[in-house]
Amino acid sequence: MDRTSKNWIDSDRFIPARFVRPVLRLTNIEASSGIVLVAAAVAAMVWANLPIFGDSYVHFWHDQHLEVSLGPIHFSEDLKHVVNDGLMTIFFLVVGLEIKRELVLGELRDPRKAALPVVAALGGMVLPALIYVAFNAGDPAALRGWGVPMATDIAFSLGVLALLGSRVPVGARLFLLAVAIADDIGAIAVIAIFYTADLSLAYLGLGIGFLVLIAIATRVNVRSHIFYAPMAIIAWYCFLESGVHGTIAGVILGFITPSRSLYDNREFDRAARRIVDIFPAHSAEPGFQEKVEYEARMLADVARESISPLSRLQHLLHVWSAFVIVPIFALANAGVSLAGIDLVDSVTSRVALGVAVGLVVGKAIGVTGFGWLVVKLGWGRLPSGVGWQHMIGTATLAGIGFTVALFIGELAFTDHTVIDLSKIGIFTGSILAGVIGYLILRSTPERSRPSVLTGGARR
């Protein structure tokens, strides 16, 4: 195999293999975490509807409190808010890291390549919101939930794609990932602008000040976590107290995390070779072991600083976010007690219908329609091996909204009954979008396409 085929794959002429492999690893993690997420959501529903202990679901998450006091900082919230305001900040930090990686190193770096997923994602946000508003016009309280059907759950949607295996081209998976990331940018903006409580400019100013200090520290190559960890926690607390949701601080932290390593490839090569060349192989001299450990630590430090902080932090946190934090969030938020409610009336309520139809119809038409417009105007083109039936199926899968949709629903409504109706709409719409998207892609004929690992044509 020649150097060209090793380093490049012919997917939309050309996508670097060094970019595709990390993205495919990310999609594999997301797809696998979808199974854990489903298990957590099912467990929440079962727990909330147990014949005898169903009430314990609400009591556990609302009656148990966590209190932390440290000087002027005083945090006191029930467990559900600890998860939603605290743990989910780590989830949104990972989202911020993923967005920055795409903007700096990935597909969204090239405006021409970014046009298709970004504009398609815009259509997939605008149309569902309009559909929801059409269903709930005249009800000011219900209208606050217009942002709920805008969100795409990466884990669930990629999980469905994983079930289809090689029937779905790599380009379709990358497209869905880019759409979901662009969708995340929109959802973050919606949360920050439209779902902010009473604003405290003093706390907001302090929070921004600490984030600026962190950004300056990254510029002057401060490397110690002992500095960044407390600064990040204080910034998060200030954002939380300001009325702007604390998770926004996590997103901003992801954006300001450096994407460049301290040592470039040549510097790493020179430093590593210098250390290895003087590395002692064996000796009976006193202090020999200490010298070996010193040189080994030097090599480890050089290797560590040859990886960008963005990549290190994403690698460290992504698995925790996908397999621990998001399932805990689902366990705390997905439980809906069905006792005493008419399920048919709930599913056909304007809130539930607005969310469900927005997710299924709005996402499919919005993503496909805006994507078609981009291609028709010549602003972008379909990825190699991807046809319009792939696009329709992928756009339908983008209607699987769960994590961020539930999150926005909790922010949008104060009435627990309306919150439960929005959850029922999210569950109904997501299941329908997943099944319909799967069937569309399952019925799509496979095309001959290049191999991801070899760059050769599949025969």
Q: In the structure, what pLDDT confidence band is assigned to residue 50 with cuts at 50, 70 and 90? A: confident
Question: What proportions of the chain, in percent to the nearest 5, are helix, strand and coil?
Answer: 75, 5, 25
Structure tokens at 432: 């329908």
- For 239-281, give the DSSP string: HHHHTS-THHHHHHHHHHS--S-SS-HHHHHHHHHHHHHT---
Q: Identify the burial level of 404 via C-beta atoms within 10 angstroms of its C-beta, where 0-12 means exposed, 13-18 middle and 19 or more buried.
A: buried
- Of 384, 328, 361, nearest in space to 432 by CA: 361
Beta strands 65-70 and 73-78 are antiparallel
Owner of token pair 């095309």: 447
**What are the two backbone dihedrals, phi and then psi, of residue 290, each rounded to the nearest 5 degrees?**
-65, -40
Q: In the structure, what pLDDT confidence band is assigned to residue 72 with cuts at 50, 70 and 90? A: confident
Q: Which residue has the higher pLDDT, 73 or 97?
A: 97
pLDDT of 19 strictly over 50: no
- pLDDT of 284-299, one tens digit each? 566 667 777 777 787 7
Structure tokens at 222: 């401060």
At the fourth CATH level, the homologous superfamily of domain 31-76+112-194+342-442 is Na+/H+ antiporter like domain (1.20.1530.10)
pLDDT of 207 strictly over 70: yes
- Helix H segments across 283-415? 288-304, 309-320, 326-333, 343-347, 350-357, 363-377, 388-397, 403-412
Report whether 144 contacts 413 (CB < 8 A).
yes
- Helix H segments across 49-110? 55-63, 79-81, 88-104
Owner of token pair 């990935």: 106
Q: Which residue has the higher pLDDT, 336 or 109?
A: 336
- pLDDT of 132-142, one tens digit each? 999 999 899 99
Owner of token pair 């556990």: 60
- Of 457, 455, 435, 422, nearest in space to 135 by CA: 422
* Coil/strand/helix, residue 422: helix
DSSP state for residue 445 in the 8-state scheme:
P
Q: Which residue has the higher pLDDT, 450 or 61?
A: 61
- pLDDT of 342-400, one tens digit each? 888 888 999 999 999 999 999 999 999 999 999 999 888 888 788 899 999 999 999 99
Angle of CA points 109, 115, 119, to nearest 5°: 125
Domain locations along the chain? 31-76+112-194+342-442
Distance CA 237, CA 27 (A): 32
Structure tokens at 194: 């439209």
Report whether 64 contacts 332 (CB < 8 A).
no
Q: What element of type H or E holds 430?
A: helix 416-442
- pLDDT of 418-455, one tens digit each? 999 999 999 999 999 999 999 999 888 765 444 333 33
Half-sphere exposure of 105 (CA within 13 A, CB side): 19
Q: What is the average pLDDT across 14-28? A: 50
Structure tokens at 224: 């110690």
pLDDT of 457 strictly over 50: no
* Residue 87 amino acid letter: L
DSSP state for residue 281 in the 8-state scheme:
-
Average pLDDT value for the chain: 82
Residue 414: count other Cβ atoms within 10 Å of its Cβ.
Answer: 10
Percent of the chain whose predicted confidence (pLDDT) is above 70: 87
Distance CA 359, CA 352 (A): 11
* Coil/strand/helix, residue 324: helix
Report whether 13 contacts 384 (CB < 8 A).
yes
* Residue 144 amino acid letter: R
pLDDT of 328 strictly over 50: yes
Report whether 128 contacts 366 (CB < 8 A).
yes
Distance CA 312, CA 214 (A): 17
Distance CA 52, CA 65 (A): 23
Q: What is the average pLDDT across 66-95? A: 85
Distance CA 313, CA 320 (A): 11
Distance CA 96, CA 321 (A): 13
pLDDT of 274 strictly over 80: no
Distance CA 254, CA 250 (A): 6
- pLDDT of 174-199, one tens digit each? 888 888 888 888 888 888 888 877 78
* Residue 210 amino acid letter: F
**What are the two backbone dihedrals, phi and then psi, of residue 380, each rounded to the nearest 5 degrees?**
-165, 180
**Chain-centre distance for alpha carbon 432:** 22
The answer, yes or no, to whether the previous bond of 268 is cis (omega within 30 of 0) is no
pLDDT of 5 strictly over 70: no
Structure tokens at 355: 């969310």
User: Would you state the pLDDT for residue 453?
Assistant: 32
pLDDT of 40 strictly over 70: yes
Owner of token pair 């590395």: 279
